[in-house]
Structure 1
Amino acid sequence: MGFGDLKKKEGLSALNTYMADKSYIEGYQPSQADSVVFDALSGPPPADLENALRWYNHIKSYGAARSSLPGRKRDVSSYGGTAAPAAAGGDDDDDDDDIDLFGSDDEDAKAEREKRLAAYHEKKAKKPALIAKSSLLLDVKPWDDETDMVALEKSVRSIEADGLLWGASKLVPVGYGIRKLQINAVIEDDKISTDFLEEEITGFEDYVQSMDIAAFNKI
């Protein structure tokens, strides 16, 4: 359904609401979707629209590199929609509809209802538990402009653990010739904590000065 006119307060407010639990317009890394929406703005959102402003500043940091972000450009009106509710008649709904809890009092009918209820609950019990995951965007800062950033990133990616998956990364200028490593990670919440990541990453003391979480989104 789109955000509306992103040069007006209403459109910016819609963008701000949309970005409340997201780092990017689509997916878990910057893409042409971010570039299209960014170009539709006339400038930075006002400070009271903090979610939209955070996103704007982050995408602005890519500069001319926005043109090389992955993905395919679409019309700006195609972004910002919400997922349509699941169509009626899915597998689980069929099971529910087939169970008539208020049918005949006949003994055979009761037995059939109990049998089907038992089968329904057994099917539900066999479904795998939902694994809670989070997408993180980490800022890893070196000591100075002489830090070997290739070795720094190699060290970070050498951290391996069950429930941890490293994603895309890039080097972002922070001033005085210093660049920080910005890297995506997907973690399983029950297995990996942000404290664990910080302890492991800052453990590379020859390269890493500090680590910050730039974005944290539940998947």
Structure 2
Amino acid sequence: MACDLAKDTFWFDKARTSDAERIYFEKLYGNKQTQQKNASASSVVDQIARAREQIEKSLSQTNDSFGDMASEAMKKLELMETSNKNMIQKIENLTSLVSKLQDRVKVLEGKSSEKPKEEEEDDDDEDLFASDDEEEDEEASRIREERLKAYAEKKSAKKAVVAKSSLILEVKPWDDETDMKALEESVRTVTMDGLLWGASKLVPVGYGIQKLQISCVIEDDKVSTDDLTEKIEAFEDYVQSVDIAAFNKI
């Protein structure tokens, strides 16, 4: 076998065979890469074309929208110009009206300045009768004062109303052995300015005990109920306590 290999000559052409192998593989893989590059290049071209179409569409739409906006702006400008003209016309009308009113006011002021002079002349004529009016005013004031004086005298002549009250007092004794007649006589001995005693009666309380119920009229400004009860309770031999059973204004 070693002899057979020694007879082969391709081992001596190793460099040439390696070059041939390299060229073969370069051609093989080079075609595939070229195809891939061509495919990728075509896809990029398609994308660029689509992008260009989209840009053109957006530009056309933008131009249309700008055109609509421009037309709307022109319409608004026309409306503003029209309203401005109307406003100017109204201002001119108002200005003319104000000037006319000013002229009229001046005319009226001139007439009013002439009128006071005529009134002063009329006042001079009326002064001739001023003395009679003064005499009438003095007479009226004198009559009024006399009437007021008479009314005051009549009012002062009336008697002042005296405030009075009606009371019913209940005087209680110590026990059933208390002399009720002597008790009543003691109560009636109480005298005060503005005090007037009235009727009385004995009212049974219980267990044979009776209490004295006596009425009186007092003037409110002169007699105090506290002072009256204290004076009655001063009769300690007969009186245990004093109560006000009724109190009425007259």
User: What corresponds to 1:156 in structure 2?
Assistant: 187
Aligned-residue Cα RMSD (Å) equals 1.2
**1:111 pairs with one of 95, 118, 142:** 142
User: What corresponds to 1:142 in structure 2?
Assistant: 173
AA aligned to 2:184 is E
**1:201 pairs with one of 210, 219, 232:** 232
The CA distance in 2 between the partners of 1:181 and 1:187, in whole Å, is 19
User: What corresponds to 1:180 in structure 2?
Assistant: 211
AA aligned to 1:218 is K
AA aligned to 1:165 is L
AA aligned to 2:198 is G
Gaps of 5+ in 2: 1-135
User: What corresponds to 2:196 in structure 1?
Assistant: 165
Q: In the TM superposition, what is the alpha-carbon distance from 1:128 to its structure 2 partner?
A: 2.2
AA aligned to 2:214 is I
TM-score by length of 2: 0.44
SS at match of 2:237: coil
The CA distance in 1 between the partners of 2:207 and 2:137, in whole Å, is 84
The CA distance in 2 between the partners of 1:179 and 1:108, in whole Å, is 76
State the structure with bigger RCO (CA 8 A, min sep 6), 1 or 2: 1
Superposition map of 1:8-19 within 5 A: none
TM-score by length of 1: 0.51
The CA distance in 2 between the partners of 1:197 and 1:141, in whole Å, is 15
AA aligned to 1:129 is A
Q: In the TM superposition, what is the alpha-carbon distance from 1:107 to its structure 2 partner?
A: 3.2
1:123 has 2:154 as partner? yes
SS at match of 2:200: strand
Q: In the TM superposition, what is the alpha-carbon distance from 1:132 to its structure 2 partner?
A: 1.2
Q: Which has the larger radius of gyration?
A: 2
Superposition map of 1:91-106 within 5 A: 106=137
User: What corresponds to 1:14 in structure 2?
Assistant: none
Going by fraction, where is helix more abundant, 1 or 2? 2
